[in-house]
Amino acid sequence: NLQCRVSGPSNIRPGQTFDIGVEVANNGNGDATAVVLQIDIPEGVGHGEGAGGFIEFPIDRIEPGQTISQSFQFTAIGPGSIRRACGLSSADGPGGSCDIQILAAEVRLRIVKDGRGTMFLGQQGEYQIAVGNAGNASATNIVIEDALPAGLRFVSASDGGQWDGSK
């Protein structure tokens, strides 16, 4: 009666290397021999052998009540949801399976500046800076700086915008 449990981070960043821990337990009353732990590697995840595919980790024998732990290192190649599935097989009977869901989160800010292209002397102009996040992670502590062109004078800003004349 083989069981597995997988652990690892729930959130990572693209390009980040991360560890996955796998525990294989024999909850039966006899030895489990010729056990093979197979870890599926989805596209978009790198490991020492490349990207995608699977890793097979052989375990000669697991005694009753014994738990074997092993750690594997991977790299998230891009953003998205990563499902890491692990399967067990044994010469002595059915294996088990387990999985973990990991989010490779990415912030992708999009900044658009829009306003009047031509203004006349003494005329007040207005322009907007819109910020959007097309990524799958929250963006926090964002500071947007924009230079005021020569010959213009700052009047006001909305949504907490401030003028810093020292820059």
Burial of 75 from C-beta contacts in 10 A (0-12 / 13-18 / 19+): middle
pLDDT at 24: 95
Low-confidence ranges of the chain (pLDDT < 50): none
Confidence at residue 152, expressed as pLDDT on a 0 to 100 scale: 79
**pLDDT of 57:** 92
